[in-house]
Structures are given as C-alpha cells and as structure tokens.
Amino acid sequence: MSQTSQIAIPCTLMRGGTSKGPFFLASDLPSDVETRDRVLLAAMGSPDPRQIDGVGGADPLTSKVAIISRSSRQGIDVDYLFAQVSVDRPLVDVTPTCGNMLAGVGPFAIESGLVAPRDPITPVTIYLVNTKTVAVAHVPTPGGEVTYAGETSIAGVPGTAAAIRIDFRDTAGSVCGALLPTGNMLDQLDGIEATLIDNGMPMVVLRASDLGKSGYEAPAELNSDQKLKARLEAIRILAGERMGLGDVRSKVVPKMTLIAPPQSGGHVMTRTFIPHKCHSAIGVLMAVTVGTACILPGSVARGILRQHDGPAQRLSIEHPSGEFSVEFQVEHSGVDLKVIRSSLIRTARALFRGELLVPASAWEGKEILTSADVSRTT
C-alpha cells in the first residue's frame, strides 16, 4: 500500500433545485459515522466562514452533501442520506433532509448505474434515510439517457432546465412523529402564536406582524436585525422542546418561517430562516410543510392565506426571489384534514464528475487508499 497525503474520493458535484453540493456513493465513504463526518467536514472546508480549503460555497445552501446507495428495501430503488455541513462549526447534521438536493438523486442514481433508465421518463423511488419517508422522482430520460436540458425555470436558478416532478409519500411527522407534534393547531411561544408542524421538515410558522415585521423585508435586512434573530432563536429553542426535538441549539431544525399576505398573486408570502439566516427563497420540504400549515383549519395562517379549496390544492408560496408551487391531495374528515400526497417540480444539473481530495488525516484510522484504489467508472 502506497502512502499519500491526500485521499481521492469519487464524487459528482450537482445542483439540486436551489442547493448545491457533492454527491457520493455510500460505498466510497467511511462506514463509521465519526470518520465519515470528519471526511465531509474536510471535503467542504469546514469550519471556516469562507470554506476556502474545500468545495463548500460559504453558504448553508451550498454546504450540503448527498450520500446515495442501492436500497435493499422492497419497492425502493435507492437510499438517500442528506448531510447539512455547517459552514463555520465542526458540525454535520443528519437530522433533517433536503428536498432541493433530492432533485439530484434520481439523475445521479441513473448515471451511476444504480437505476436502469427508461424512455422517456424514469421513475426513481427514493428512501429518505433522515426522515424515513419515500419520494418518487420522475427523471426525463429520452432515449434512455438523462437529459438536463429543458424549458422549466424555478425561482432562484438562472435559465431553464428539464423538469423533475417529485411526489412525496407519507411525510407527515417524519421527524417529530406527528404532523402536529404538540397536538395543537396553535401554540403560544414567548407570547407569540405559532403553528408547530412537521410534514417532512420540522417548522415553526409565525405571523410576521406578530414580530413587528411586514414579511416583505429583504433577507439582508432581516439578517442584520439582531434583535429579531435573538427573538426567533428564543422561540425556536422553546419550540424544539415542545416538538420532541430536545435542545436544538446545535441543530438545524426546526426551521422558522414568517408569513404574510401574498403580494404577487400567490396564496401566502414567506420569509424562512434556516435556522439563523434568512433564506433567499424557500426549501422544498419547507414549502411543503409551510403550505400544509396554511391549509390546516385554525392554523396561524387564518386571515392571511388566500383560500383555495378542493381535494387537489395547488398552493403558490411567495418568497424573496419568486414563488414555489406545491400541489396537495387532501382528504377531509369533519374538521380534520389529511395530506395524502404532495408534489412539486424541481430541476437539477450535474456540474462536474471526478475525484474530491481530502487530507489523509481526515481518514485517520482507516486504510489510506490511493487515487487508483478508489477510482471507478461513472
């Protein structure tokens, strides 16, 4: 075995929705969690505000990792483990999942040989390891090959690309165990009314006006408001305990969303914190969960949401850089509402394939492999 100061790991850098990060096969990473996390921190260049010594983009939206493996579960094609790598702390959080990065899982799985392509669309059934839920990505594969070219545009991404429809199944309570972890449509947190909800992403939904905001402020303005951010964090810590998440000071969930009446023909306006920085848009599962809160009778959205009734409800969620449409199939039973399915459209693109190099010290305790040892055909 030859010695080397760096380890080469096969990797595809992908944009998934409005996020970006390296996609790895699980078999190319250490199997034990401690070593794996050390490798991921080194790969992204964390902790460092600039992530100058790694491939992270110095922003939570571009400091994400997808780890993919062939699934042994019946009816499932691949398993997807998401890792949020903190930019400025030595923290890898696998508590939440990411619906934007999810958009890249289907194309990556097909191009890595884990799923056989069909013509013209290949459905890829994905088990979201973090939340123990299932999604189906419908990937355009004309002639049996993944195509990224198309006419679909999504807010927060320049240009157009091929549309990938994602259907979510049974996401209610995926992290907290129940759609409404406290059993309440409304809770009081530090004197503020909130809806605590988990339909794929634990969220705290608040009226912007209750915090002295319009809900139309630019993200930079909200990020500079230290008083607001301190108040939100105090509420988040209380919410985490009530939602069964424990002490969330070192966790990235729950996320926080301020809602206001729509401005541009949508159904509701949002400003979402992830959890300490205002998002320039809104994440996929955040949109699904906030949208669910908005259609629940008696939630914090009463009097704000532009109502939209019927068994199939398409909700346009406005955010700082545009809008995000989510379609819900729901069932009503008296005053109760059950979300059967939620669907949305995303795009993705492979940016480069090759080997990501990390210092050998990050793989301490594991066999040191050369580039030739870990290379594979993609």
Question: What's the CATH code of the domain at 85?
Answer: 3.10.310.10
248 and 150 in a common domain? no
255 and 281 in a common domain? yes
Q: Please work out, in degrees rounded to the nearest 5, the angle formed at the alpha carbon of residue 224 by the alpha carbons of 221 and 230.
A: 120
Q: Which amino acid is at 175?
A: V
In a domain? residue 180: no
Q: Which band of pLDDT confidence, cut at 50, 70 and 90, is reported for residue 203? A: very high
In a domain? residue 342: no
In a domain? residue 22: yes
**Interatomic CA distance for residues 202 and 56, integer angstroms:** 25
Q: Which of 52-56, 154-158, 211-215 has the lowest mean pLDDT?
A: 154-158
In a domain? residue 170: no
121 and 67 in a common domain? yes
224 and 103 in a common domain? no
135 and 191 in a common domain? no
Per-residue confidence (pLDDT) for residue 306, from 0 to 100: 65
**Interatomic CA distance for residues 100 and 92, integer angstroms:** 18
120 to each of 34, 130, 144, 162, 179, how far by Cα in Å? 41, 30, 7, 12, 36
221 and 132 in a common domain? no
289 and 243 in a common domain? yes
363 and 247 in a common domain? no
**pLDDT, average across residues 179-201:** 95
pLDDT digits (tens, 9 = 90+) for 10-39: 999 999 999 999 999 999 999 999 999 999
110 and 192 in a common domain? no
74 and 124 in a common domain? yes
In a domain? residue 76: yes
**pLDDT, average across residues 350-362:** 97
Average pLDDT, the chain: 91
Per-residue confidence (pLDDT) for residue 334, from 0 to 100: 57
Contact between 358 and 42 (Cβ < 8 Å): yes
In a domain? residue 43: yes
47 and 105 in a common domain? yes
Tally the domains of the chain: 2
Q: For residue 158, give its domain range.
A: 6-163+348-374
Q: Which of 132-146, 258-272, 362-376 has the lowest mean pLDDT?
A: 362-376
Per-residue confidence (pLDDT) for residue 375, from 0 to 100: 35
- For tokens 């729509």, the residue is 262
pLDDT digits (tens, 9 = 90+) for 39-61: 999 999 999 999 999 999 999 99
Q: Is the dihedral of CA 334, 203, 236, 97 positive or negative?
A: positive
- Higher pLDDT among residues 103 and 371, named by residue: 103
In a domain? residue 75: yes
* pLDDT score of 311 more than 70: no
DSSP of 22-85, one letter per residue?
EEEEGGGS-SSHHHHHHHHHHHHT-S-TT-TTSS--SSGGGSEEEEEEE--STT--EEEEEEEE
196 and 141 in a common domain? no
pLDDT digits (tens, 9 = 90+) for 103-141: 999 999 999 999 999 999 999 999 999 989 899 999 999
In a domain? residue 310: yes
